[in-house]
Structure 1
């Protein structure tokens, strides 16, 4: 996410609804925003993994865990706390256009189907070997260790 997140862990708790403002109907919004229709309770857990820079700008690598399931939930919550996801053109108010992709990645998915548990893990692409624009400066928590703690 953009900027250095100061808290090591937080629960983001903003209800999310549909944005009915002209020109923004493709977006979701937090309760209390003008044009926010039918907001529903929503929570996400944020855990800081690393502080560093991306193309020279301060960024924080975080683990996000949606505790509810709303459209664009993680994107809206990060923007609402002042730390939009790197490369998120929509929720950075059309400012973040230079990264080659949005830096949002499903590292671990756990899907209970009723008859079986499906677990999938995809390697972390946000490492200097995969993207030379990412420069870690301080590791707070290791991703693999944090995932194991949350299981």
Structure 2
């Protein structure tokens, strides 16, 4: 499975990362990495002759837009935008069940699951004051429902997700905490959801407002163009269009707004 280059300049490289692929690895025998596909095997190391700087990261299971800086100064410029939350990231996801709201703010803190604290592999949302989560940090995700349907006769909802903060596994943890795990998310379904061929989370659009090189990079939707999904999916109700670039951007405009008349709104936090 190759890595598609979406944009390239002297300062930045933006790629479309496939699902089930690592970003990089210190294991020289590991070939399933973004680095192996686009650069020298050691390019993720600072000691490399031509190091790449991963200013943004995606999980192994997550596909989509990922920005890489070619120089240290470019990484610094992009890194400041991420730190100041001036970037905008939009993900397309498919979650289990039919959500009962149009738009939601999910504000559960995210921390390390104490059961996997030694590896930090699994995170957990602090959904109550009695939560056992370790080293929690504030986290905020916005969710907009796009379409309801059925996958292999089981209810699912296509959603637009916008992370306001950037915690490890944030979108996956927040979706699970609302009772709607991402389709195919083996880890946060407690190892139950293993039948789908992938986890259905895709970083569809990245807006990086660099002064000298503003970037707004978007991929086509990746799910319905894949017969392994579309042949098993039956639409029930399209709540708002999203499958073309223009329609997806219009949905992004909706999720960017603090409030819109006519939408059923929900907040998830420890005060619920």
Residue in 2 that maps onto 1:81: 178
The one of 15, 18, 28 aligned to 2:112: 18
Are the counterparts in 1 of residues 144 and 255 from structure 2 also a CA contact under 8 Å?
A: no
Residue in 2 that maps onto 1:45: 142
**If you compute each CA radius of gyration, which structure gives the higher value, 1 or 2?**
2
Greater percentage in helix: 2
Q: What CA distance in whole angstroms lies between the structure 2 residues aligned with 1:106 and 1:17?
A: 22
The one of 124, 131, 135 aligned to 1:33: 131
Runs of 4+ in 1 over 4 A off after TM superposition: 148-151
Residues 68-107 of structure 1: CA distance to partner in whole angstroms, max 9, x if unpaired?
1111010000000000000000001111000000000111
Alignment of 1:97 onto 2:191 = no
Q: What CA distance in whole angstroms lies between the structure 2 residues aligned with 1:70 and 1:51?
A: 27
TM-score, normalised on structure 2?
A: 0.52
Q: What CA distance in whole angstroms lies between the structure 2 residues aligned with 1:110 and 1:128?
A: 24
Q: What CA distance in whole angstroms lies between the structure 2 residues aligned with 1:92 and 1:114?
A: 41
Q: 1:10 to 1:22 in 2, by over 3 A?
A: closer
Greater percentage in strand: 1
Equivalences for 1:60-139 in 2 at 5 Å? 60-127=157-224, 130=227, 131-139=230-238
TM-score, normalised on structure 1?
A: 0.90
